[in-house]
Chains A and B, each alone.
Chain A
């Protein structure tokens, strides 16, 4: 149990994603990024595929993970993006 808990703490979280999204792509003025966005569609949050590709590039550099363009552009929600990074 102890080792599993440690793994969870080190995992990529929604807060990590939000931080990188904001620096790599900014935020739409009409969206509350501090609201419940985990299952919101990126299109509703104002992020297009380029914003996600730029965000993925920053994540791959910071966390040393490989994220393919196809996988990134197939993701539709923050939950999906977080899971993608954690499974990479």
Chain B
């Protein structure tokens, strides 16, 4: 099968804007989780978030400002950085040879809330004309496509947190079918009251107000997650074509697996283990070749248990390093998993595994969780896991290009 490479990364996260800033903070264990400042969260059970303050006017053309949600602005910045990082001038790409495939969980929710408030408080005349698309799931793909003239195969994948990996897999399929280059991944977030109440329908969100104690996967005090915004967009292209143009190769997207969980209450096994096995088989990688697992890290005890059991079943207890740098950003919905893929590729580049911060592994888990500080290690192959609410499980294997 045609090998597909990542040649550009644009990361934008609560603990760093731009790939270098994000990676430096992440290796140093610096968290971006803060009390919510984007809206008054004092009346809500969840009071913390991974926020990305962003001066849109400094980064984007003024034509795009009235038409875009905050997370779309972040994604436009990330896309531009990814293309620059890849050394690609989109104007030189064939019109229909380059595309955009992103993941989304809620579209432009903050924009949508504001305009719906205008609708019922003031009337239809006060609703922005841009509401017609600014809250769509596909809006980031569309805006990036328009801005850079990338009209090849494009779309959006909606599978909550798993979407960041599902978009990368969709991208790999399109490149194997002949598309030259695709911007892929996710930059997401819905830090607004509407987004908050939508996520508070169960106990997945942490109600702690201590940024160092709020999101503690695999810890005895695990009590849900902190939501955040941001993510990463990746430039992906066929490996050999990338080499011919002299591109820097971060690594290869070598394997992918996706499953759905059985219905709630079923006695059947959760789907995550099969997603991992499928991704390893797809990559032609044995478990003992995997150097690190970037965990989904739900921080809900039952879900942590399922993930630890799946890792143990495939790799053996304590046999592979496991980490969750998202403890520094919060869970970024559809942006989380592609940011983890970016971190995995940077871990391969630099020979360092970023830490899972603020966590002390609970004694009932036997996974080798990298806590405290980053761990130096040769990383050739990494597995990234992501689960979406509603039963989505996805796994991607990335490895140093051969």
Which A residues fall within an 8 A CB radius of B? 22-29, 46, 50-51, 53-54, 57, 60-61
Q: Please give, as numbers and ranges, the residues of chain B lying within 8 Å of A57 by CB-CB distance.
A: 125-129
| B126: nearest chain-A partner, CB-CB | A61
Interface residue B132 (Cβ < 8 Å from any Cβ of A): yes
Asked if A50 contacts B126 (CB within 8 A), the reply is no
Q: A57-B125, A60-B125, A61-B125 in contact; A27/B130 too (CB < 8 A)?
A: no
Of the candidate stretches B60-68, B90-98, B215-223, B290-298, the one touching chain A is B60-68
B128 to chain A, nearest CB (A): 6
Binary interface profile of B, 329-350, with partner A (CB < 8 Å = 1, else 0)? 0000000000000000000000
Binary interface profile of B, 196-212, with partner A (CB < 8 Å = 1, else 0)? 00000000000000000
| A53: nearest chain-B partner, CB-CB | B129
Asked if A29 contacts B61 (CB within 8 A), the reply is yes
Q: A57-B125, A61-B125 in contact; A50/B61 too (CB < 8 A)?
A: no
* Measured CA separation A51–B130 after assembly (Å): 8
Q: List 24 A-B contacts (CB under 8 A).
A: A23-B66, A24-B66, A25-B63, A25-B66, A25-B67, A26-B63, A26-B65, A26-B66, A27-B62, A27-B63, A28-B63, A29-B62, A29-B63, A46-B63, A50-B67, A50-B129, A50-B130, A50-B132, A54-B66, A54-B128, A54-B130, A57-B125, A57-B127, A57-B128
Q: Please give, as numbers and ranges, the residues of chain A lying within 8 Å of B129 by CB-CB distance.
A: 50-51, 53-54, 57
B63 to chain A, nearest CB (A): 4
| A23: nearest chain-B partner, CB-CB | B66
Q: Please give, as numbers and ranges, the residues of chain A lying within 8 Å of B62 by CB-CB distance.
A: 22, 26-27, 29
* Measured CA separation A49–B108 after assembly (Å): 21
* Measured CA separation A78–B132 after assembly (Å): 24
* Measured CA separation A22–B66 after assembly (Å): 10
Q: Please give, as numbers and ranges, the residues of chain A lying within 8 Å of B61 by CB-CB distance.
A: 26, 28-29
* Measured CA separation A53–B66 after assembly (Å): 13
* Measured CA separation A54–B134 after assembly (Å): 13
CB contact list, B125-155 vs A, under 8 A: 125-130, 132
Q: Please give, as numbers and ranges, the residues of chain A lying within 8 Å of B65 by CB-CB distance.
A: 26
Q: Please give, as numbers and ranges, the residues of chain B lying within 8 Å of A28 by CB-CB distance.
A: 61, 63
Asked if B125 contacts A26 (CB within 8 A), the reply is no
* Measured CA separation A53–B67 after assembly (Å): 12
CB contact list, B6-56 vs A, under 8 A: none
* Measured CA separation A26–B61 after assembly (Å): 8
B132 to chain A, nearest CB (A): 7
B265 to chain A, nearest CB (A): 47
